[in-house]
């Protein structure tokens, strides 16, 4: 029997009240009704305003209007309700960036149920863990992504229904047939503002994935904080990008923010630099969301600014990894636009620190998003001196609430502040500069070295495509800086180039920060969201030195 009241969810799955972060709503736009359904802000409001014939979704050669999207959402919602999906039931989604994801996500929330989105690359083990941890009632799946669900089926403990698009598959109900038989009218289930709306799971780079709980009010907050004040959406905007919709960065940037403001969103499907550039060109995307790696790969593509017309772009949003200053300058020089770097997290739901249009400092993560407070503190939670590195502590309208992880909750929320695990410096101008993750700090011979600054220095070299830096065990210094380097032309890899790269870094950083070890690689291990798995690189090095 699934849990059907928020009080039961609080008692069974969420941390004790004293472990929650302090949530503050200082801006007037954060005032919402006590009861609502966040989907009404994304669909119903536009239909009532006469925008039913306006395009909401672009996908390849097709479009879907707000009216068509609402009808599809209602048909799926009715089908799920007929199967017994009720308020606060958890529903797992397994789709790529395609219209079916948007329809499913909105339909689940319209019923007052809870979305549990998963990355397309997740395997049976990860899907089984998430389905059982969230006590999922149903799984909605793209027809070509059923294999891992089938492999995990015998281990699901609460799943009552598996549904898939496309041809009939054993053990799966046919979504297309169920939807076709339903009405396109469905009233939203009104929920308390703090009712659970989604559980966002991390990609599980260390241990099992961790679920972060987010609520109906949170969907509105990300639109009215980061969306309204940083992106500054317009109804004629077309949003696009590659971050998976199953990743909160993609969910906010490619679904919630555009639909909240009556704009359109463009789905790229599977990302490659060429498909992204072609989609910008074809759909005339104006606001682009991507990670630095993707911006870099697009910049290196021979069609960048030549075969593909990118003149429609007015704003480019970056997150997921620190944005190198060199990449910012390259885009401003080539396209005349600013890349707006920011930081958020799955646990915090969305971006809380960011550069803003006309208020950008290259190489920094910007300033607090309106509605948020940021501090840099030491282990005793004392503010560190200006210019010194400190642990990033955040407080505002969103916060970290782990699902079934009370021990983890205690580690990340202290005195009401959220601790993201990042180290930053604050300059006299108020801009915050990323130093490293707490566990990415390299201590070599008594010197503290932030891996990202070495990576950024390496990436300024004309032959370097990308770099990942870690601390490698060393018997004399404890650690030494090691760089894994991807080259634009791999044939150039040779010992003389390593010496050249070392000199190049020494010219830009303090001499003790240069990479004593350099390994040329064809690729770097990544999470499903595109982040480099530095943990995996550290583990590889540690395995070479088991006694270190």
pLDDT in tens, 267-324: 998 889 999 999 999 999 999 999 888 998 899 999 998 899 999 999 999 998 889 8
User: What residues contact residue 52 under an 8 Å CB cut-off, 6+ apart?
Assistant: 46, 65, 66, 67, 70
The CA radius of gyration of the chain, in Å to the nearest whole number, is 23
Count of Cβ atoms closer than 10 Å to residue 385 Cβ:
8
Residue 87 DSSP label:
T
What would the mean pLDDT of 187-191 be, rounded to a whole number? 96
Dihedral pair phi/psi, residue 382, rounded to 5°: -90, 140
| Average confidence score pLDDT of the chain | 92
* Domains detected in the chain: 6-425 (3.40.50.12780), 445-544 (3.30.300.30)
State the pLDDT confidence band at 447, using cuts at 50, 70 and 90: low
Count of Cβ atoms closer than 10 Å to residue 84 Cβ:
12
Considering the entire predicted model, what is its pTM? 0.85
**What are the pLDDT digits (tens) for 89-143?**
999 999 999 999 999 999 999 999 999 999 888 888 889 999 999 999 999 999 9
What would the mean pLDDT of 381-403 be, rounded to a whole number? 96
- Asked whether residue 205 carries a pLDDT value surpassing 50, the answer given is no
Q: Give which of 116, 156, 162 is closest to 138, Cα–Cα.
A: 162
Dihedral pair phi/psi, residue 428, rounded to 5°: -65, -25
What would the mean pLDDT of 195-217 be, rounded to a whole number? 85
Structure tokens at 310: 């990118």
pLDDT of residue 208: 74
Tell me how far apart the alpha carbons of residues 255 and 36 are, in angstroms, rounded to a whole number.
Answer: 19
What would the mean pLDDT of 391-418 be, rounded to a whole number? 95
Structure tokens at 195: 């009712």
User: For residue 376, what are the β-bridge partners?
Assistant: 392
**What are the pLDDT digits (tens) for 28-85?**
999 999 999 999 999 999 999 999 999 999 999 999 999 999 999 999 999 999 999 9
Least confident window among 190-204, 365-379, 381-395: 190-204
Residue the block writes with tokens 């580690």: 411
Convert 345-358 to b/e letters by CB count within 10 Å (16 or more is b).
Answer: bbbbbbbbbbbbee
Count of Cβ atoms closer than 10 Å to residue 391 Cβ:
20
pLDDT of residue 306: 85
Q: Give which of 171, 142, 144 is closest to 159, Cα–Cα.
A: 171
Q: Categorise residue 284: left if φ over 0, alpha if ψ from -120 to 50, beta otherwise.
A: left
Share above pLDDT 70 across residues of the chain, in percent, rounded to a whole number: 96
Tell me how far apart the alpha carbons of residues 149 and 142 are, in angstroms, rounded to a whole number.
Answer: 11
- Asked whether residue 548 carries a pLDDT value surpassing 50, the answer given is no
User: What residues contact residue 385 under an 8 Å CB cut-off, 6+ apart?
Assistant: none
- Asked whether residue 206 carries a pLDDT value surpassing 80, the answer given is no
């Amino acid at each position: 029997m699934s849990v059907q009241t928020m009080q039961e969810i609080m008692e069974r799955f969420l941390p004790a009240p004293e472990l929650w972060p302090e949530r503050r709503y200082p801006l007037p736009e954060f005032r919402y009704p006590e009861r609502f359904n966040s989907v009404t802000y994304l669909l119903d409001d536009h239909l009532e305003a006469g925008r039913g014939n306006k395009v909401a979704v672009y996908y390849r050669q097709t479009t879907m209007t707000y009216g068509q999207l609402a009808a599809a959402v209602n048909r799926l919602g009715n089908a799920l309700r007929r199967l017994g999906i009720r308020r606060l039931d958890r529903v797992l989604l397994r789709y790529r960036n395609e219209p079916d994801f948007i329809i499913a996500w909105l339909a689940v929330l319209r019923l007052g149920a809870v979305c549990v989105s998963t990355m397309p690359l997740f395997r049976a083990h990860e899907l089984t863990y998430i389905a059982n941890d969230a006590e999922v009632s149903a799984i909605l799946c793209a027809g070509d992504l059923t294999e891992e669900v089938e492999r995990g089926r015998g281990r699901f403990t609460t799943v009552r229904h598996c549904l898939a698009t496309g041809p009939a598959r054993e053990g799966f109900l046919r979504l297309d047939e169920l939807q076709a038989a339903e009405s396109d009218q469905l009233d939203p289930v009104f929920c308390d503002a703090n009712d659970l709306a989604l559980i966002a799971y991390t990609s599980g780079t260390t241990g099992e994935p961790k679920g972060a709980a987010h609520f109906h009010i949170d969907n509105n907050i990300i639109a009215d904080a980061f969306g309204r004040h940083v992106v500054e959406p317009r109804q004629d905007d077309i949003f696009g990008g590659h971050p998976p919709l199953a990743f909160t960065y993609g969910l906010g940037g490619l679904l919630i923010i555009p639909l909240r403001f009556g704009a359109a969103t463009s789905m790229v499907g599977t990302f490659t630099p060429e498909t992204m550039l072609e989609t910008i060109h074809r759909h005339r995307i104006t606001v682009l969301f991507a990670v630095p790696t993707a911006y870099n790969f697009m910049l290196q593509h021979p069609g960048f600014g030549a075969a593909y017309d990118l003149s429609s772009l007015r704003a480019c949003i970056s997150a997921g990894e620190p944005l190198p200053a060199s990449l910012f300058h390259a885009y401003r020089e080539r396209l005349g636009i600013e890349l707006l770097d920011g930081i958020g997290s799955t646990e915090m739901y969305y971006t809380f620190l960011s550069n803003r249009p006309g208020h950008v400092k290259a190489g920094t993560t910007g300033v607090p998003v309106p509605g948020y407070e940021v501090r840099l503190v030491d282990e005793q939670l004392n503010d560190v001196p200006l210019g010194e590195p400190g642990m990033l502590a955040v407080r505002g309208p969103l916060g970290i609430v782990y699902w079934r992880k009370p021990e983890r909750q205690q580690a990340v929320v202290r005195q009401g502040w959220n601790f993201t695990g990042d180290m930053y410096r604050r300059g006299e101008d108020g801009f915050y500069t990323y130093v490293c993750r707490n566990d990415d700090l390299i201590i070599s011979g008594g010197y503290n070295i932030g891996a990202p600054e070495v990576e950024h220095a390496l990436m300024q070299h004309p032959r370097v495509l990308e770099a990942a830096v870690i601390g490698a065990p060393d018997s004399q210094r404890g650690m030494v800086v090691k760089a894994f380097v991807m080259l634009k032309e791999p044939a150039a890899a040779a010992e003389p180039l390593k010496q050249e790269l070392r000199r190049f870094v020494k010219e830009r950083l303090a001499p003790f920060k240069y990479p004593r070890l350099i390994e040329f690689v064809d690729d770097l291990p990544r999470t499903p969201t595109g982040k480099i798995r530095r943990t995996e690189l550290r583990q590889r090095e540690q395995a070479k030195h088991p006694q270190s």
